[in-house]
Chain A
Amino acid sequence: MVTGVDMPELIGSHYESLYRYAYRLSGNEGDAADLTQETFGKAITRIRQLRDPSRAKSWLFQILRNVYLHKVRDDRRRRVVPLDSIGDLVDDPPEAVPEFDSATLQQALNELDETFRTPLILFYFEEFSYRDIADQLDLPIGTVMSRLARAKGYLREKLSGSPETASTTTTTLDVV
């Protein structure tokens, strides 16, 4: 086992945030619990890959996302929100912060393609910087910033009840 990395401590320190990430990715409790279990299961067998214990959280989040992507079929990962209709900058943000609850937020996330949903979720878990997100997703930081800007714009309009995102079409998502 890698010096300084203890599995019980790893689980105790990160299982809650990992479960919450899994829940926001998958949208339901059962899948979230399964994803969390499988993530730690893989982490045990790959513990030697973790060379820097301070990066444990990012490492676990990466494993979880990969587990998620393997478990979910492509047609379930792809959503049909036409994000190409939202630019990188929102010119006129809503006058007030909309009120919304966890279920409303999850519904909005469920409608997003995974390529936009994951960076959005990671961004709002606060501990992750743009650089962390780019490293986790193996993307250029500029791509992360662009996807985040568009996803945040979508989220803001969706949570504000904007008519532009009230309905979905079958337009193919343009992934940058």
Chain B
Amino acid sequence: MDCNLSRIMIAIGRRELTVADAAALDGHIVNCAACAVAARQSFAFDEAVSRVMTAVPVPPGLRASLMQTAYARRGHEMRRKIYQWSALAAAVLVAIGIGFGGYWQSRPSLDLQVLAERTESDREHSEQAVHAWLATKDLPAQLPYEFDFRLYMSHGKEEIAGRDVPVILFAHGRDVARVYFVRKSQFNVDKAAYARTSFCTVEVFADRHPEFVIVVSYTADRIDPFLRRKAVGQVA
């Protein structure tokens, strides 16, 4: 390798080089003081700019605002699709009714019990999936509250202070609730306690598991809207 090619590779940047090219460049700069200086300065400059480029403070309420807008937008989209499908279904039904009067007379009876069991199955399916995920990740099997899994949205992980924290997300209208599983070995949770802001409440359950602190945050005034109702007027 000559200095011309070396300077081109330096300008391109180390992370764009193949392993072989990077090794060839390293081999050249070991024997070429000028290119060694150029490489050091160029890579150091790139690192400095990259560090400063991403050092932009993110507004504290941005995430909550984005989630709120996203849910509102998604609700709008779902309603729009429901309206579209309802209109289509109505048109189809009318066409069938007009075209097949006899068939219309032999419509099956709508079994509400079947619909209820299907909805119950959907809820159990997501609840089963979450519990299977908890088991797979060696997370506490029991949640602090008996959440209504009809309100289940997703589960996964969030990055907090550079660490991945498992989380389950529930939504009730415009309110959201999150259940975090914070590993005691990753965070200093000694002073973690109840917290409340204008729009959010955070509860900490430090005694449910020897390795984890379970943190529940929600934007409603109380946790009740997110919980399964055992009977009319009672919550879990």
Contacts and interface: CB of A to CB of B under 8 A. Distances in A.
Contacts of A86: none
Contact of B70 (A8, A124, A145): A8
Contacts of B232: none
B104 interface: no
A2 B168 CA distance: 20
Contacts of A159: 49
A100 to B, nearest CB: 7
A37 B49 CA distance: 26
B53 A124 contact: yes
Nearest to B158: A12
A97 B44 CA distance: 7
Interface residues of B, number: 40
B147 to A, nearest CB: 16
Interface stretch (B5-13, B19-27, B92-100, B121-129): B5-13
Contacts of A93: 38, 41-42, 45
A159 B41 CA distance: 14
Contact of A97 (B11, B48, B54, B159): B48
Given A89-B8, A94-B41, A156-B45, A7 B56 contact: no
11 contacts: A9-B156, A15-B62, A17-B54, A33-B59, A40-B70, A44-B73, A97-B44, A124-B50, A124-B54, A129-B16, A145-B12
Interface of A: 6-9, 11-13, 15-17, 19-20, 23-24, 29, 33, 36-37, 40-41, 44-45, 88-90, 93-98, 100-102, 105, 121, 123-126, 129-130, 145, 149, 152, 155-156, 159
